[in-house]
Amino acid sequence: MSLIPLRKPSAPTNTDLTNGTDLFSQVVSLEDSMVVVDVEVGDGVTQLAAAAAYKLDLRVTINGNVVVPEFSVTVDTTTAALQRVRLRTDPIPINDGDLVVANLKGDQAAQTSIPVLASLWAIPASRQIVGTVSGTPATNKFQATLSGFAAAPSSAGYFNGRVIEFVKSAQGLVGQSRLIVGYISNAGTAEFNVLDFSTAPASGDVFVIKL
């Protein structure tokens, strides 16, 4: 996925996560694009918490409206290997002048100095084609509707050689990407042949085509 950094600190900031903290509040100057919030918790050295499980809640709002309700990641912090946790949102639609706020909260007491690196990335409209799976998909073939097109491009092989990456999936395919090896327009609906995904996507799953 083609990402442009809008906010990318060079080093983590020690953060109080006890009651929830706004990691950043930033106005985005992009029209009809998407953003991704990417948060790393921990410095890779210090234990996050002396507990059997540690829950982190990330919430993202646009102009005060919750667009990513609090989603939780629970980690086992009894093992020394787990000293950094990453939380990353699906792409979020954005308009010019929108205010993006990311808030992070931990569920352990006295978590007053946890290293956090919070980044904001943009996917410009000119670099994204977003598709939604339809019909009855298979691991290596499925139909989809595409954003930005009144009808799917009619030229056979139009997307061949590009890569599909899922950004929302009921089948656990988020982050998986595969090469497009065949493409046709079937009565105005895009139909893709790809190298096998680990499982078939579900109708309604969302992907981007990397340009």
Residue-wise pLDDT tens digits, 74-99: 766 555 455 778 888 877 878 888 99
Q: How many domains does the chain have?
A: 2
pLDDT the model gives residue 165 = 87
Query: Is pTM beyond 0.75 here?
Result: no
Mean pLDDT of the chain: 83
pLDDT the model gives residue 174 = 86
Indicate if 19 and 95 belong to the same structural domain: yes
Indicate if 107 and 186 belong to the same structural domain: no
Give the C-alpha separation, 201 to 13, whole Å: 38
Q: Which domain holds residue 60?
A: 4-123
Q: Burial code of 50-72, b = ≥16 C-beta within 10 A, e = fewer? A: eeeebebbbbbbbeeeebbeeee
What CATH number does residue 160 fall under?
A: 2.40.10
> Cβ–Cβ contacts within 10 Å for residue 111, how many?
20
Indicate if 166 and 111 belong to the same structural domain: no
Write the pLDDT tens digit of every residue in 122-179.
Answer: 876 666 688 899 999 999 999 999 876 667 888 899 999 888 988 888 999 988 889 9
Examine the pLDDT at 28 and tell me if it is beyond 70. Answer: yes
Q: Which tokens in the block code for residue 110? A: 């006295």
Indicate if 51 and 61 belong to the same structural domain: yes
Indicate if 86 and 58 belong to the same structural domain: yes
> Of 80, 102, 123, which one is at a domain's C-terminal end?
123
| Helical ranges in the chain per DSSP H | none
Indicate if 93 and 190 belong to the same structural domain: no
- Pair 24, 118: CB distance under 8 Å: yes
